[in-house]
Amino acid sequence: MRLLVVEDDRDLNRQLVSAFEQAGYAVDRAFDGEDGQFLGETEPYDAIVLDMGLPKKDGLRVLEAWRKAGKTTPVLILTARDRWSDKVEGFDAGADDYVTKPFHLEEVLARLRALLRRAVGHATSEFCCGPVTLDARAGRVLVDGNPVKLTSHEYRLLAYLMHHMGRVVSRTELVEHLYDQDFDRDSNTIEVFVGRLRKKLGIDIIETVRGLGYVISSPAKVQGQGK
């Protein structure tokens, strides 16, 4: 999962980015409305955290521009405590949720997880496929109840496929959602990560669809295969 943080307060931007990275997301950052709008229009983020008070172009105008351009990416807006009208205008412009400053990072993380799973029609933060459980809240993966230690890239890859269970995901799409923009991207590494994941999980829930990409089938189908 890849996120964008648009916040002009440098300290706050850094805090958000480091909390998101620790939680296992790839993160890009922008410090003003123009850069933020450009990134949101050109990069395929899974969710965006957008401050309302921004230099060059305010958050509301940025959000309106994204929605006008047909971007449906979930957007969490950051509003000042005394600006209740920000929330109303923000929702009307297409925001999906908001957090009031000052906030606890835990709350922002919880709201983001909710946005990400709602975007794919999933009701809880646990994703299961056969014996494999991905707990997006704790950021961990269990096989038959036993924790499996994954690197952040392996975790992101598995999380992305599990959020999109039942759909074939191309290598290009994986690359776009696993790495931030500064990362030296190489779609061949995806194959390496998939190989390592299969080994660590000890069960092959990730299917290769030749020429198309990878898919984790819905739990029913995987259980059915064993019978």
Contact residues toward Ca ion (CB under 5 A) are 8, 51, 53
Nearest residue to Ca ion by CB is 53
Taking the complex as a whole, the smallest distance from the CB of residue 47 to Ca ion amounts, in Å, to 19
Cα Rg of the chain, angstroms: 18
Would you say 108 or 194 has its CB closer to Ca ion?
A: 108
Beta-bridge partner residues of 47: 3
Would you say 84 or 183 has its CB closer to Ca ion?
A: 84
| Cα–Cα distance measured from residue 124 to residue 139, given in angstroms and rounded to the nearest whole number | 13
Taking the complex as a whole, the smallest distance from the CB of residue 125 to Ca ion amounts, in Å, to 29
| Cα–Cα distance measured from residue 129 to residue 127, given in angstroms and rounded to the nearest whole number | 7
Taking the complex as a whole, the smallest distance from the CB of residue 80 to Ca ion amounts, in Å, to 8
Would you say 82 or 184 has its CB closer to Ca ion?
A: 82
Nearest by Cα to 63 from 4, 18, 1: 4
C-alpha distance from residue 169 to each of 6, 90, 163 (Å): 27, 32, 11
Taking the complex as a whole, the smallest distance from the CB of residue 31 to Ca ion amounts, in Å, to 10
SS3 at position 78: strand
| Cα–Cα distance measured from residue 105 to residue 20, given in angstroms and rounded to the nearest whole number | 9
Ramachandran quadrant class, 38 (left: phi over 0; alpha: psi -120 to 50; beta: rest): alpha
Question: Helix count (H) and strand count (E) of the chain?
Answer: 9, 11
Would you say 53 or 131 has its CB closer to Ca ion?
A: 53
Would you say 89 or 176 has its CB closer to Ca ion?
A: 89
Taking the complex as a whole, the smallest distance from the CB of residue 68 to Ca ion amounts, in Å, to 22
Torsion of CA 78, 81, 86, 92, to 10 degrees: 70
CA 176 to chain centre: 11
- The two tokens of residue 101 are 């400053």
Taking the complex as a whole, the smallest distance from the CB of residue 75 to Ca ion amounts, in Å, to 15
Would you say 83 or 167 has its CB closer to Ca ion?
A: 83
